[in-house]
Amino acid sequence: MYIRTVEIENYRAFKNFEIKFSPLSVIIGENEAGKTNLFDALALPLNNNDISFNKKRLSVSDINREAIKEFYQAIINGKDDDEIKLLIPKVRVEVEFTEPKNIIEEGVIGKWIIGEEATIATRFVTTSSPKIPSNLLRLPRSYLTVSWT
């Protein structure tokens, strides 16, 4: 069993990113290329049930800058609240595993599976977004729509 694909949306440098793995994959790249961000993104869904995992709470610096810019631009352009709420950046990470080949591999992913057995492709998804979108709109709107004359 191995991780087959990882899809990342709006997490740090990754706006829309997908990577496919083989049974033996190597991640290499220059400094600041995104290697650590990839592994940090992987940790989000895989550490879902670990209460001691501090990085579950994302800060604004974890959200893709381009997604934030699109959100702010919609406010500046005077879009209505419903349109703006659709642009609130949501961080989404999906990890797909290949089929477990034995009971040991099933045990590895078993802590994440609730109510059903592992299938040919087992997926774990985490999505992080603000809980109260209407409150999120007030502050940026007040700052971004101020007249500076």
Tokens coding 145 = 């729509």
* Residue 138 falls inside a structural domain: no
Rounded to an integer, the average pLDDT of 123-138 is 67
Q: What is the pLDDT of residues 4-48, one digit of tens each?
A: 999 999 999 999 999 999 999 999 999 999 999 999 998 888 875
Q: Are 1 and 99 in contact (CB under 8 A)?
A: yes
* Residue 106 falls inside a structural domain: yes
**Can you give the pLDDT at residue 74?**
92
Q: Reduced to 3 DSSP states, what percent helix, strand and coil does the chain have, rounded to the nearest 5?
A: 40, 20, 40
**Residue 45: phi, psi to the nearest 5?**
-75, -30
Rounded to an integer, the average pLDDT of 118-137 is 63
pTM of the model: 0.77
User: Roughly what angle, to the nearest 10 degrees, separates helices 133-144 and 65-76?
Assistant: 70
* Residue 122 falls inside a structural domain: yes
Domains contained in the chain, number: 1
Q: What is the pLDDT of residues 54-107, one digit of tens each?
A: 555 788 889 999 999 999 899 889 899 889 888 888 899 998 888 888 888 887
DSSP calls for 53-112: -GGGS--GGGB-HHHHHHHHHHHHTT--HHHHHHTS--EEEEEEEPPP-SHHHHHHHHTT
**Can you give the pLDDT at residue 37?**
95
Please give the Cα distance from 120 to 22 (Å, whole number): 15
| Residue-range definition of the domain harbouring residue 95 | 3-69+91-129
pLDDT over 50 at 118, yes or no:
no
Please give the Cα distance from 99 to 97 (Å, whole number): 6
* Residue 13 falls inside a structural domain: yes
* Residue 16 falls inside a structural domain: yes
